Amino acid sequence: MSSSTQAPEVLISEVGPRDGLQSVATTMPTAAKQRWVAALHAAGLREIELGSFVPARLLPQLADTGELIAFARGLPGLATLALVPNRRGAEAAIAAGAHKISLPISVSEAHSLANVRKTPQAMLEELRSVLALRREQAPDMGVEVGLSTAFGCTLQGAVDEDAVIRLALACAEAGADDVGLSDTAGMANPAQVRRLFTRLRQELGERAGAAHLHNTRGLGLANCLAAYEAGVRTFDASLAGLGGCPYAPGASGNVVTEDLVFMFEAMGVRTGINLERLLAARAPLREGLPQEALYGMLAEAGLPKGFQA
C-alpha cells in the first residue's frame, strides 16, 4: 500500500531534529543533521521541525538551527519549522528564513515556569508580541501554538480541561494561525485525547492544530488514533522515537514516526511517505548519534509480506 501517488490525507510533521535532539546529551554534527534531514525529505516528509532558537548555552545541541534551516530551504516542497520561546527567538527565525514558527505555551504554570521562566499569561503576551513582529517583518510566515501539558503535568499533576480550552481560545483570538495540543508528560489516554480534541475543534474549527503525543506509557499510537477519529489531520512524530521534554521529568518517548506512518498506511489513510525510505532514514540518524538508543516496532519487525511501501 502506497501513498506516493495520491494526495496525503494526514500531515506527519517530523520533530526529531528539534524535540529529539534537544533531549540527548550528544551534539549531532551539522553535516550529519543535513544528511538526516535530506533522507527524511527523500522519504516524503514535507514538514520538519529543524530546531529551536534559544541561547546556545541552554541547548548547545540546537545551536546550528539557522544553518540547518538554510540547508533545508534548498529541498523542494519542504516546510521548515522552528520552535521559538519568545520574540527574540522569532526574530532569529525570521532572519533564518523559517517558513513557520511554533510557540510553546504551557497550560500548567509549574511547567511554564520551569520551561520558559514565564507564566502562561506572560507567554500569551509574548505570543501577541511575536504576532505583531510577524505583521511587520514576515507576513507570510506561519505562527502556530502548541499547548504544552494539555493532558497532565509531572510537576503540577492534573490539568483542568476547561483551562486548556480557555487558553486555546485566547491564543486563537490573539491571532495564532492554529493551536494544537501536546501531551508533554506522556500522561494522556485515548478517551481524554478524543474528548479534548473534539472540544478544541468545536471551538476553533480548522484552526485546531496538531496532536503532539508521547509514547511514555505505551499509549502513543492509541492516542494518535483517538485524535484522528476526533478530526485531527496533523501529527507530530519523531524518527526512532527520539526525544521528550527536558523540563518535564520522566517525559521520554515521542511517537515513533515509522510506526505512526505504518498505522495510517495500513488503515488506508494516505501520508505521502514511503515507508522503506523512511526506515532507511534511520541510518544517517544512527551514524550521527552512534551511542543513542533508537526505538520503533516497525524497524524491529519489518514490513509485512506483500505490503507495498
Domains of the chain, residue spans: 11-295
Q: What percent of the chain has pLDDT over 70?
A: 95
Comparing C-alpha atoms, which of 177, 154, 149, 174 is closest to residue 164? 149
Kindly tell me if the per-residue pLDDT of 244 is higher than 80: no
Span 284-294, mean pLDDT? Answer: 94
Kindly tell me if the per-residue pLDDT of 160 is higher than 60: yes
Kindly tell me if the per-residue pLDDT of 1 is higher than 70: no
- pLDDT for res 6: 77
Mean per-residue pLDDT over the chain, rounded: 94
- pLDDT confidence band for 210 (50 / 70 / 90): very high
User: Could you give the maximum distance between any two Cα atoms of the chain, in Å?
Assistant: 54
- pLDDT for res 255: 95
- pLDDT for res 220: 95
Q: What percent of the chain has pLDDT over 90?
A: 85
pLDDT digits (tens, 9 = 90+) for 291-305: 988 999 999 999 999
Which helix (DSSP H) or strand (DSSP E) does residue 51 occupy? strand 47-52
Query: Looking at 4-8, 117-121, 202-206, 266-270, which range is the least confident one?
Result: 4-8
Class in CATH terms, 11-295: alpha beta
- pLDDT confidence band for 5 (50 / 70 / 90): low
Q: What are the backbone angles phi and psi of residue 295, rounded to the nearest 5°?
A: -120, 170
- pLDDT confidence band for 116 (50 / 70 / 90): confident
Active-site residues: which are they?
Answer: 245
Kindly tell me if the per-residue pLDDT of 14 is higher than 60: yes
Kindly tell me if the per-residue pLDDT of 245 is higher than 70: no
Kindly tell me if the per-residue pLDDT of 114 is higher than 90: no
pLDDT digits (tens, 9 = 90+) for 22-62: 988 899 999 999 999 999 999 999 999 999 999 999 999 99
Count of beta carbons in the 10 Å neighbourhood of residue 31: 12
Find all residues with CB under 8 Å of 32, minimum gap 6, and list them: 284, 287, 288, 289
- pLDDT confidence band for 150 (50 / 70 / 90): very high
- pLDDT for res 309: 58
Comparing C-alpha atoms, which of 63, 50, 54 is closest to residue 18? 50
CA distance 187 to 22: 20
Span 158-186, mean pLDDT? Answer: 97
Q: What is the pTM of this model?
A: 0.95
